């Protein structure tokens, strides 16, 4: 389990300061497929993911979904609504059973004003997320569907010997939601990549056997 004291948000705090901040965080267990945040809700808490995985997404009235991000242990979420005092800008649901530390809005704002190092670490994190968001916009606006899939596979995969492996089962719909495309288009591209010997899929995930072409 990821320890609260190991979060980047506390990198610049002295140990005694970390202890005081963590006294405001209370851990809770959430089952798989539990809705943590719903877009449009009031913002009341900051969340620290200790165990499991959560999905950040947007959807519309027709049920169409776009995955914005996936958070893993060691990452926190929910800070934007607290800083701006605005409703939640996206929805978050647990992908697995999770253990999450929860800090209430009053305590979060107290930490911002009481510990400058806490605020600096938060600004650094927000800057990184802004860079990531800019890259996502670039991909959606300037890349075709194949290129977005190729970049997504590269970002999700890890090196394993002479191949790269995506260690999670991704359905065609899941990939489509990540890259903002139709499931049918994704299915055609994956079929071609398998036929070309670029990738293979099984119950454990996707293996990338050779460098994916720049375009398709």
Domain containing residue 33: CATH number? 2.60.120.10
Interatomic CA distance for residues 104 and 130, integer angstroms: 24
pLDDT of residue 65: 84
pLDDT tens digits along 61-94:
777 788 888 999 999 999 999 999 999 999 999 9
Which of 141, 165, 181 is the last residue in one of the domains?
141
In this predicted structure, the answer to whether residue 129 has a pLDDT above a threshold of 90 is: no
Claim to verify: residue 98 and residue 202 sit in the same structural domain: no
Among candidate residues 141, 162, 185, the one where a domain is terminated: 141
Asked if residue 67 is part of any domain, the answer here is yes
Q: pLDDT at residue 174 above 80?
A: yes
Q: CA-to-CA distance for 133 and 123, rounded, in angstroms?
A: 15
Question: Does residue 123 share a domain with residue 36?
Answer: yes
On whether both 178 and 111 belong to a single domain, the answer is no
Domain for residue 213, yes or no? no
Last residue of a domain, one of 118, 141, 164: 141
Instruction: Say what the pLDDT of residue 169 is.
Output: 85
pLDDT for 68 equals 86
Q: Which are the contacts of 109, defined by CB distance < 8 A and separation ≥ 6?
A: 82
Q: Quick check: is 184 in a domain?
A: yes
Shared domain check, 189 and 178: yes
Mean pLDDT of 156-174: 90
What residue numbers bound the domain in which 62 lies? 4-141
Cβ atoms within 10 Å, residue 156: 19
Average pLDDT over residues 92-100: 97
With beta carbons less than 8 A apart as the criterion, state whether 205 and 170 touch.
yes
Provide the number of structural domains found in the chain: 2
Judge contact between 22 and 5, C-beta under 8 A.
yes
Residue 216 placed within a domain: no
Q: What is the CATH number of the domain that holds 177?
A: 1.10.10.10
Least confident of 58-62, 71-75, 101-105: 58-62
SS3 37: strand
- Dist. CA 203–CA 105, nearest whole Å: 41
Judge whether residue 214 has pLDDT over 90.
no
Share of the chain above pLDDT 90, in %: 70
> What are the tens digits of pLDDT across the range 16-27?
999 999 999 999
Q: Strand pairing of 45-51 and 76-77?
A: antiparallel
Q: Can you give the pLDDT at residue 79?
A: 95
Does the structure show a pLDDT above 90 at 204?
Answer: no
Q: Residue 143 — very low, low, confident or very high, per pLDDT cuts 50/70/90? A: confident
């Amino acid at each position: 389990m990821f320890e609260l004291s190991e979060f980047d948000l506390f990198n610049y705090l002295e140990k005694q300061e970390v202890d005081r901040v963590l006294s405001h965080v209370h851990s809770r267990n959430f089952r798989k497929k539990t809705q943590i945040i719903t877009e449009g809700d009031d913002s009341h808490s900051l969340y620290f993911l200790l165990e499991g995985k959560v999905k950040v997404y947007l959807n519309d009235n027709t049920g169409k979904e776009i995955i914005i991000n996936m958070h893993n242990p060691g990452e926190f979420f929910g800070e934007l609504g607290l800083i701006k005092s605005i409703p939640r800008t996206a929805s978050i649901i647990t992908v697995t059973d999770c253990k999450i530390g929860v800090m209430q809005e009053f305590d979060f704002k107290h930490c911002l004003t009481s510990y400058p190092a806490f605020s600096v670490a938060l600004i650094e994190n927000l800057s990184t997320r802004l860079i990531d968001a800019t890259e996502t916009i670039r991909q959606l606006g300037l890349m075709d569907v194949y290129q977005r899939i190729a970049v997504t596979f590269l970002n999700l995969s890890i090196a394993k010997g002479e191949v790269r492996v995506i260690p999670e089962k991704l359905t065609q719909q899941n990939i489509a939601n990540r890259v903002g495309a139709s499931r049918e288009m994704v299915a055609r591209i994956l079929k071609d990549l398998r036929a070309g010997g670029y990738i293979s899929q099984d119950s454990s995930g996707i293996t990338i056997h050779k460098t994916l072409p720049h375009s398709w």
